[in-house]
Structure 1
Amino acid sequence: MNHAAYPALAARTAVVTGAASGMGEATARLLAAGGARVALLARRAERLDALAAAITADGGRALAVTADVTDQSSVDAAVRTVHDTWGPVDLVVNNAGVMLPNPLADGRIDEWTRMIDTNLTGALRIVRAFSADLVAAAAEGRAADLVNVSSIASHVLFPDYAVYGATKAALTQLSAALRTELGPRDVRVAAIEPGLTDTELGGHIDNPVLREQLDGMFEAMPALTAQDIAELIAFTVTRPRHVNLRHLVALPTRQA
């Protein structure tokens, strides 16, 4: 394995949520390629097991932990598994998310609840679970990072994406607020806001008009890849520990 790009990762123990696909999978692969021990958290056990096997086959270290961030008991069990296997962590990537756009007038409470529970409350559960680890790592003089994967929808308005955008705005705001609490304790908090990115995120959309609209955007411009975001995360968490890249917005060049 080539660790040359991010040698600082070799001493890290990371947790990546939403690791079964997309940005989470790419980030987990890249962190592991840099030598980090990576706990893979997601709901799809088969996908996680396959990813852990692939990382191990490449010489990396990965732990597949089936977990649902919307379920507190599931998160608690995942934390125990990570701690029992590897002890405390010093790098957390809050990536689990779901995008379910529809006109607000449709009143899709099921979608609203799922997005809020995953994108916001789920992220909070992970912060609660691992913040003590991060503070302890920083107190020992080591790098400690919390990376929250938000979206440009936090500040760019898209019709029919109101609730999704609200959850991402909340996540970006949460990141800013957490910096006031964790920054003085030497824990870095970063919010990363990708623009149009080629992942499975759009696959959950059940509105055919909005699916077609999203497909049209992908046809109109070269999108970011999951690997692009993984590289950005890896770069962010390998800066000198006094440097916090606190808020990063990444767009395809053709996206305004």
Structure 2
Amino acid sequence: MGHPTPNTRTAVVTGAASGMGEAIARRLVADGARVALLARRADRLAALAAELGPNALAVPADVTDQDSVDAAQERVHAAFGRIDLLVNSAGVMLPNPVDDGRIDEWSRMIDTNVTGALRMIRAFGPDLVAAAADGATADLVDISSIGADVVFPHYAVYGATKAALTQLSAALRSEYGPRDVRVTNIEPGLTDTELGTHIDNPALGPDGQLGAMFDTIGPLTAADIADLVAYATSRPRHVNLRQLVVLPTRQA
């Protein structure tokens, strides 16, 4: 992989096979960072890494599986050494009425959106602290959602997981901030990603409620979110953009 220049960022991005994670990885590599691409879909990761070049490393991993995260940590450290930027972008959005009692969906969202982020913080938080102690810029970026603050019918559990991630980010700032590690929480509104394709309720998915919102409002792109991540993490190390809410102009 070669030796980084002193100012090169070394990043881990989860959910890097598509959507916001992929866009964030692309932008960071374009800006000169070395980026470990983490996601479950090995084929998508391999193709993306091949496209992005030697500063991109494909690391197939499932954030809901501790052994998988442990193996990913070892792979990243072997290839890149210590990281100084972690982006928790892996997430699933599975809306349904709470009356449906979809424990399968609830568990998947909690395991990915909350516990998955915690597993990554456990794996790479010590890197961030050590990097900051050495005088480097160190960042934790959590991709939450406007659903953390705004109520959408049938999105109760998804919104709850994102509210938990937003609160986690705020609380971690009190632990990491005094050690010069920045924590940035980003809450996007309606954004065009693959998330909607995972919805199994036709009334709520791309051909229903979600599609109608896209038509009426016009969504953000994943690249818009990547632009925010790049901006926030390129500020002087004493500046922490702690909470960023980004909406399409037509979304109230």
Question: TM tier, shorter chain?
Answer: over 0.9
Tell me the distance in 2 between the aligned counterparts of 1:238 and 1:215. 34
Gaps of 5+ in 2: none
Pick one of 229, 234, 239 that aligns with 2:230. 234
Between the aligned residues of both structures, percent identity stands at 72
Name 2:165's counterpart in structure 1: 171
Give per-residue Cα distances to partners, 1:183-205, cap 9 Å, x unaligned. Answer: 00000001000000000011100
Look up the equivalent residue of 1:244 and give its one-letter code.
N
Name 1:22's counterpart in structure 2: 19
Is the counterpart of residue 45 in structure 1 residue 42 in structure 2?
Answer: yes
Name 1:146's counterpart in structure 2: 140
Give per-residue Cα distances to partners, 1:192-237, cap 9 Å, x unaligned. Answer: 0000000001110000111100000001122100000000000000
Name 1:207's counterpart in structure 2: 201
Give per-residue Cα distances to partners, 1:128-181, cap 9 Å, x unaligned. Answer: 000100000000111000000000000000010000000000000000000000
Name 1:55's counterpart in structure 2: 52
Give per-residue Cα distances to partners, 1:94-149, cap 9 Å, x unaligned. Answer: 00000000000100000000000000000000000001000000001110000000
Name 1:13's counterpart in structure 2: 10
Is the counterpart of residue 247 in structure 1 residue 243 in structure 2?
Answer: yes
Give per-residue Cα distances to partners, 1:28-83, cap 9 Å, x unaligned. Answer: 00000111000000000000001001101xxx510000000000000000000000
Give the TM-score taking structure 1 as reference length: 0.95
Instruction: Report deviation, 1:17.
Output: 0.1
Q: Does structure 2 conserve the Cα–Cα contact (< 8 Å) formed by 1:154 and 1:168?
A: yes
Tell me the distance in 2 between the aligned counterparts of 1:99 and 1:223. 16
Q: Does structure 2 conserve the Cα–Cα contact (< 8 Å) formed by 1:48 and 1:66?
A: yes
SS of the residue 1:128 aligns to: helix
SS of the residue 2:251 aligns to: coil
Name 1:31's counterpart in structure 2: 28
SS of the residue 1:26 aligns to: helix
Give the TM-score taking structure 2 as reference length: 0.96
Gaps of 5+ in 1: 1-7
Instruction: Report deviation, 1:10.
Output: 5.5
Look up the equivalent residue of 1:232 and give its one-letter code.
L
* Equivalences, count: 246
Q: Does structure 2 conserve the Cα–Cα contact (< 8 Å) formed by 1:9 and 1:36?
A: no
Tell me the distance in 1 between the aligned counterparts of 2:120 and 2:63. 7
SS of the residue 1:48 aligns to: helix
Pick one of 69, 73, 77 that aligns with 1:79. 73
Name 1:122's counterpart in structure 2: 116
Pairwise CA RMSD of aligned residues?
1.1
